[in-house]
Structures are given as C-alpha cells and as structure tokens.
Copies of this chain bind each other. A is one copy, B any other.
Amino acid sequence: MEFTVQQIAEMLGGTVEGNPTSKISTLAKIEEAGEKALAFLSNPKYEPYLYTTEASAVIVSHELELKQHVETSLIRVADPYTSFSRLLEEYQKAVMAFKTGVEEPAYMGKNSTIGDNFYRAAFSYIGQNCKIGANARIFPHVSIGDNVKIGDNVIIYAGAKIYSDTVIGNNCTIHAGAVIGSDGFGFAPQKDGTYKIIPQIGNVVLEDNVSIGANATIDCATMGSTIIHEGTKIDNLVQIAHNVEIGKHTVIAAQSGVSGSSRIGNFCTVAGQVGIVGHITIADRTIIGAQSGVSKSIKEEGTIIQGSPAFDYKQNLRALTVFRKLPELQKDIEELKEKL
C-alpha cells in the first residue's frame, strides 16, 4: 500500500507543509524512520529528531514552531499522537481485511456456522455445532472444538487451540499457540499414593474485548466455567487454572500464573512472573509487583503488594534494603554481644 502525503493529510483533516506528492508506505518512530516512512512528533523531547529524520513526512501539531530548517514534509494536525494512532489502526485493519474467504483445505464440522466477511485459513479446523460471528479471522492451524460460540470481530492467530464448549465474546484476540479450555490439573489422591484423574467437564468463558497472549493456557472449570470478564488482557505464557474468575479490565503480564478457583477483581494490574495461590480473592484495583507470590486474599481495594510471599510494597522495599546489609547487621550484633 502506498499513499501520498496529501492523501494522508486529507484523511486526518490536516494541512501539508512541504511536498504533498511524497510517497508513504509505512509508519515508523521518528528516530528510526527511513524513506517512505511517516512518523509523528508529540513529546517535545523528540523534537531534535525532526530536523534530522529521514522520514518522508512527520505529523506535527498546528502549534509547533520550527526552530530549524526541516527536510521532511510536515502534516499539521490538532493532536499528532491521536492522528498517528488512527493511522496505526487503519493500517492494521487493512492488513486484517487483506485475506477473506476459505483457503483450502480447511475443515468445518456439521451444523457449524460462521458470519459474513470471514477468513478461514488453510488447515484451520472448526468442529461441530459451532457458531462464529461476523468478520472472524481464523489463521492456519487454529483448532476449534465442538459447540464453541464465538462473537463478532474475533481474531484467532495461528495454532491457537480452543477446546469444545468454549464461549468467546466480541472483539477478542487470541494469539498464536494459546490454549483455551485444557483440563484443569485435578487429580484425586488415592490411598496408595497414586492419583486418579478427576474428569473436567466445565468450560471457559471469555467476555467481550478480551485478549489472550501467545502460548498462554486457560484451563476449563472442573464443573461450571473459568471466566475472564470484559476487557481483560492476558499476556504470553500466562497460566489460568480451572474455575478461576478474572474481573473486568484487568491486565496480567507474561508468565504469571493463577491457581485454581481464585478470583481476581476488576481493574487489577498483575506484573510478570507473579504466582497467585488457589482459592483466594483479590480486591479490585490491586497492583501486584513482578515475581510476587500471593498467598492470601487481598481485601482492600487499591492495595499494592510485592514479594514472595507478597506484602505491602513499601514495607517490602524497606525490608529488602535492610536485607542487603544483613552481613553488616550480623557483625554489629556480634560486636554488641561481645561488648556486653
């Protein structure tokens, strides 16, 4: 895809300074942009790049006063960041709209339906009795079990696996290799020390606007549902165990894990490599620092914790500061003991 600077300025309701016929074929950061790239300048910190950039054009504010000569063309708008974001979105939409229809061979079981304007890649698999909404993008090697319900505008990237009976809302994105609905880790210990598998017959429900990262795993409930509520974003390689419930608009960063039957609130932030034990409840707006181990319920909204096991993050920080000096403290104590 190639546009002129003039075409983009019109799209954004902006005005051109410089060459309106310059060609644009990609978007880039101002400090990295090369020929045919369009960049933007929002943070004044980056202004020096404006005078040296090789970008063919830069989106700037109507207010910006140039301090030097610029080689690049300018597109002046009210809010450069918002305008650039709009272009990013248009760009991604165009990429997604690029492929439509069925690439053969693709498999769809009986009694399954899919809405208008879909893409079903070669080697994608849809089981029986599935109902998939409009504008679905189903990439190669996606595996969708039986009786799965999926809303509109859902993107499922290559090799994601959706077990039978999963329910997925509108505008969800499932990244490559993610597994939705695998068996919970449920085994009944027997008298002889061996384990018997407890059948896991529940499912997973992802509400609208949920995003699941690459190679993340979300186990189905033993019975009932593992639920990820509206707007929640889950990063790569995260593990969500059986019967977990995660609130709305919560963010869980890479490689964190939530054990069985725990409930995490709305608007929480869980950093990377955090572990949360089973059967606890985390209040809304809780923030959990990286590599923390959460072993107890958090009852107060807005709590910030850190550590393994996790407690108040300021208290933890203070304790860690002293931790480094432990050898000196030990020496102090020895000396005190001798003196007495």
**Which residues does A use to contact B, with CB under 8 Å?**
26-29, 32, 85, 88-89, 91-92, 95, 103, 105, 107, 121-123, 125, 139-141, 143, 145, 157-159, 161, 163-164, 173, 175-177, 179, 182-183, 185, 187-188, 193-195, 197-199, 201, 211, 213-215, 217, 219, 223-224, 231, 233, 235-237, 239, 241, 249, 251, 253-255, 257, 259, 267, 272-273, 275, 277, 290-291, 293, 295, 308-309, 311, 315, 318-327, 329-330, 332-333, 336-337, 339-340
Contact = CB atoms under 8 A, between A and B. Distances in A.
How many identical chains are in the complex?
Answer: 3
A82 to B, nearest CB: 10
Contacts of A224: 28-29, 32
B323 A327 contact: no
A107 to B, nearest CB: 4
Contacts of A28: 223-224
A322 B332 contact: no
A291 B290 contact: no
Contacts of A255: 239, 255, 257, 275
Contact of A197 (B27, B139, B173, B237): B173
Given A185-B213, A259-B272, A339-B340, A198 B85 contact: yes
Contacts of A339: 340
Contacts of A324: 311, 315, 319
Given A257-B273, A275-B290, A336-B336, A197 B211 contact: yes
A323 B323 contact: yes
Given A224-B28, A237-B237, A254 B185 contact: yes
Contact of A215 (B217, B231, B309): B217
Contact of A326 (B175, B291, B322): B322
A182 B333 CA distance: 52
Kindly name the residue among A32, A219, A236, A254 whose own CB sees the greatest number of chain B CB atoms within 10 A. Answer: A236
A111 to B, nearest CB: 14
21 contacts: A26-B201, A121-B125, A123-B123, A139-B143, A176-B182, A179-B214, A194-B249, A197-B211, A214-B217, A215-B217, A215-B237, A255-B257, A257-B273, A272-B275, A273-B273, A308-B308, A319-B323, A319-B325, A322-B329, A326-B326, A332-B337
Contacts of A237: 215, 217, 237, 239, 257
A201 B27 contact: yes
A295 B317 CA distance: 13
| Most interface-central of A29, A241, A273 (chain B CB within 10 A) | A273
